[in-house]
Structure 1
Amino acid sequence: MKQFFKFVLASFFGLLLTIVIIILIFIAYIASSGNNKSAEVDSDSVLHIQFTKDIPERTPSNPFSGLGFLGLDEDRDIGLNDILANIKKAKTDDNIKGIFLDESDMMSGQATVEEVRNALIDFKKSGKFIIAYSEVYTQQFYYLASVADKIYINPKGIFEFKGFSSQITFLKGAMDKLGIEAQIIKVGTYKSAVEPYFLTKMSDANRLQVTSYLGSMYDHFLTGISLSRGINKDSLFNYANQFRIQFPEDALKYKLVDGLKYKDEILDEIRQRTGIEAKKNIHSVEINEYNQNDGASDDDSDKKDSKNKIAIVYASGEISGGDGDDNSIGSERISEALRKVRLDDKVKAVVLRVNSPGGSSLASDVIWREVMLTKKAKPVIVSMGDYAASGGYYISCAADSIIAEPNTITGSIGIFAILPNLQKLFNDKLGITFDGVTTGKYADLGDISRPLSPDERAILQNQVNRGYDEFTKAVAAGRHKTQKYIDSIGQGRVWTGAQAVKIGLVDRLGNINDAIASAAKMAKLKHYKIDTYPDQKSKLNKVGSLLNSEIKMRTIKSELGENYIYYQQIKGVTQMMRTPQARLPYEIQIK
Structure 2
Amino acid sequence: MLSVFFIWFINLTRRTRNLWRRLLRRRVAYVRLSIGGALPEFALPPPWWARRFLGASMPLSMSNLRHRLEWLASDPQVRGIVLDINTLTCGWATIESLHQEIRRFRERGKRVVARLTNPDTKTYVAACAADLIVAPPAALLNVTGLYTGVRFLKDALAKVDLSVEVTAVSPYKTAGDPLARPDMSPENREQIERLLDLRYAAIVETIATARRKTPDEVRALIDTAPWSAQRAQEAGLIDAVLYEDELPAFLASQAGKDGGAGSEPQIVEWAQARRALRLPMLRPHRRLVGVITIEGTIAAGPSRQNPLPIPLIGELIAGSESIIQALRQAERNPRLAAVLLYINSPGGSAFDSDLIWREVRRLDRRKPVVAVMGDVAASGGYYVASGARTILAQPGAVTGSIGVLIIRPVIEGLLKRAGVNTVAIGRGANSAFFVSDAPAEAERSAVRALIDDSYALFKQRVSTGRNIPEPALEPLAGGRVWSGREAYEYGLIDASGGVPEALLKAQELAGLPRDRTAPLILIGSGRGRLPPQSFPKDMMEGLITELRQPRVWAMLPFSEDESVVQLREIA
Q: Paired residue for 1:534?
A: 524
Pick one of 444, 451, 454 that aligns with 1:467: 454
Pick one of 388, 406, 412 that aligns with 1:423: 412
Map Cα deviations across residues 229-248 of structure 1 (whole Å, 9 max, x no partner): 222223212322x3265333
Q: Paired residue for 1:88?
A: 70
Please state how far the C-alpha of 1:160 moved relative to its aligned partner: 1.9
Q: Paired residue for 1:186?
A: 168
Please state how far the C-alpha of 1:50 moved relative to its aligned partner: 2.4
Aligned amino acid, residue 73 of structure 2: K
TM norm structure 1: 0.79
Please state how far the C-alpha of 1:138 moved relative to its aligned partner: 1.1
Q: Paired residue for 2:139?
A: 157
- DSSP-derived class of the 1:102 partner: strand
- DSSP-derived class of the 1:255 partner: coil
Question: d(CA) in 1 for partners of 2:424 and 2:252?
Answer: 79
Please state how far the C-alpha of 1:168 moved relative to its aligned partner: 2.0
- DSSP-derived class of the 1:201 partner: coil
- Counterpart contact for 2:152–2:182, Cα < 8 Å: yes
Pick one of 338, 348, 364 that aligns with 1:359: 348
Q: Paired residue for 1:369?
A: 358
- Counterpart contact for 2:301–2:322, Cα < 8 Å: yes
Aligned amino acid, residue 373 of structure 1: R
Please state how far the C-alpha of 1:536 moved relative to its aligned partner: 8.9
2:475 paired with 1:455: no
CA RMSD for the aligned pairs? 3.0
Pick one of 534, 555, 560 that aligns with 1:583: 555
Please state how far the C-alpha of 1:388 moved relative to its aligned partner: 0.5
Equivalence map 1:11-160=2 (5 Å): 43-61=27-45, 76-94=58-76, 96-160=78-142
Aligned amino acid, residue 309 of structure 1: L
Q: Paired residue for 2:224?
A: 243
- Counterpart contact for 2:29–2:78, Cα < 8 Å: yes
Q: Paired residue for 1:317?
A: 296
Map Cα deviations across residues 508-533 of structure 1 (whole Å, 9 max, x no partner): 11111000001101111017642112
Equivalence map 1:543-562=2 (5 Å): none
Aligned amino acid, residue 175 of structure 2: A
Question: d(CA) in 1 for partners of 2:421 and 2:276?
Answer: 65
Question: d(CA) in 1 for partners of 2:319 and 2:61?
Answer: 20
2:367 paired with 1:382: no
- Counterpart contact for 1:183–1:420, Cα < 8 Å: yes
Please state how far the C-alpha of 1:188 moved relative to its aligned partner: 2.3
Q: Paired residue for 2:433?
A: 445
Question: d(CA) in 1 for partners of 2:448 and 2:278?
Answer: 57
TM norm structure 2: 0.81
Please state how far the C-alpha of 1:48 moved relative to its aligned partner: 2.2
- Counterpart contact for 2:44–2:58, Cα < 8 Å: no
Pick one of 234, 243, 257 that aligns with 1:253: 234
- Counterpart contact for 1:361–1:582, Cα < 8 Å: yes
Equivalence map 1:287-302=2 (5 Å): 297-298=280-281, 301-302=282-283
- Counterpart contact for 1:322–1:331, Cα < 8 Å: yes
Question: d(CA) in 2 for partners of 1:51 and 1:578?
Answer: 42
Question: d(CA) in 2 for partners of 1:328 and 1:129?
Answer: 39
2:246 paired with 1:265: yes
Q: Paired residue for 2:420?
A: 432
* Cα 1:426/1:107, change in 2 over 3 Å: same
- DSSP-derived class of the 1:386 partner: strand
- DSSP-derived class of the 1:179 partner: coil
- Counterpart contact for 1:349–1:379, Cα < 8 Å: yes
Greater percentage in helix: 1
Aligned amino acid, residue 432 of structure 2: D
Question: d(CA) in 2 for partners of 1:275 and 1:171?
Answer: 64
Please state how far the C-alpha of 1:446 moved relative to its aligned partner: 2.3
**Equivalent pairs: percent with the same residue?**
26
Equivalence map 1:301-312=2 (5 Å): 301-302=282-283, 305-312=284-291
Aligned amino acid, residue 353 of structure 2: S
- DSSP-derived class of the 1:438 partner: coil
- Counterpart contact for 2:28–2:273, Cα < 8 Å: no
Map Cα deviations across residues 552-578 of structure 1 (whole Å, 9 max, x no partner): xxxxxxxxxxxxxxxxxxxxxxxx974
Please state how far the C-alpha of 1:460 moved relative to its aligned partner: 0.6
* Cα 1:586/1:482, change in 2 over 3 Å: same
* Cα 1:63/1:216, change in 2 over 3 Å: closer
Please state how far the C-alpha of 1:503 moved relative to its aligned partner: 0.8
Question: d(CA) in 1 for partners of 2:446 and 2:328?
Answer: 35
Q: Paired residue for 1:414?
A: 403
Question: d(CA) in 2 for partners of 1:580 and 1:506?
Answer: 25
- DSSP-derived class of the 2:365 partner: helix
- DSSP-derived class of the 1:200 partner: coil
Please state how far the C-alpha of 1:350 moved relative to its aligned partner: 1.2
- Counterpart contact for 1:308–1:529, Cα < 8 Å: no
Map Cα deviations across residues 267-313 of structure 1 (whole Å, 9 max, x no partner): 543577699987x9742215xx8899997644xx22xx212011111
- Counterpart contact for 1:386–1:409, Cα < 8 Å: yes
| Structure 2 unpaired stretches of 5+ | 1-17, 306-315, 528-547, 565-571
Question: d(CA) in 1 for partners of 2:433 and 2:363?
Answer: 38
Q: Paired residue for 2:310?
A: none
* Cα 1:378/1:75, change in 2 over 3 Å: closer
Question: d(CA) in 2 for partners of 1:456 and 1:292?
Answer: 67
Aligned amino acid, residue 192 of structure 2: V
Aligned length: 502
Aligned amino acid, residue 367 of structure 1: I
Aligned amino acid, residue 51 of structure 1: I
Please state how far the C-alpha of 1:404 moved relative to its aligned partner: 0.4
Question: d(CA) in 2 for partners of 1:182 and 1:577?
Answer: 17
- DSSP-derived class of the 2:145 partner: coil
Q: Paired residue for 1:5?
A: none
Question: d(CA) in 2 for partners of 1:93 and 1:484?
Answer: 55
Please state how far the C-alpha of 1:400 moved relative to its aligned partner: 1.3
* Cα 1:62/1:458, change in 2 over 3 Å: closer
Please state how far the C-alpha of 1:330 moved relative to its aligned partner: 0.8
Question: d(CA) in 1 for partners of 2:424 and 2:229?
Answer: 69
- Counterpart contact for 1:45–1:284, Cα < 8 Å: no
Question: d(CA) in 2 for partners of 1:314 and 1:398?
Answer: 15
* Cα 1:446/1:63, change in 2 over 3 Å: closer
Map Cα deviations across residues 97-135 of structure 1 (whole Å, 9 max, x no partner): 321122411011111122122111111112222111223
* Cα 1:42/1:115, change in 2 over 3 Å: farther
Question: d(CA) in 2 for partners of 1:349 and 1:293?
Answer: 35
Please state how far the C-alpha of 1:250 moved relative to its aligned partner: 3.2
- DSSP-derived class of the 1:137 partner: coil
2:269 paired with 1:284: yes
- Counterpart contact for 2:383–2:458, Cα < 8 Å: yes
Question: d(CA) in 1 for partners of 2:119 and 2:301?
Answer: 41
Equivalence map 1:223-234=2 (5 Å): 223-234=205-216
Question: d(CA) in 2 for partners of 1:174 and 1:84?
Answer: 47
Map Cα deviations across residues 73-106 of structure 1 (whole Å, 9 max, x no partner): 5764122221222222221134543211224110
- DSSP-derived class of the 1:399 partner: coil
* Cα 1:323/1:294, change in 2 over 3 Å: farther
- Counterpart contact for 2:291–2:340, Cα < 8 Å: yes
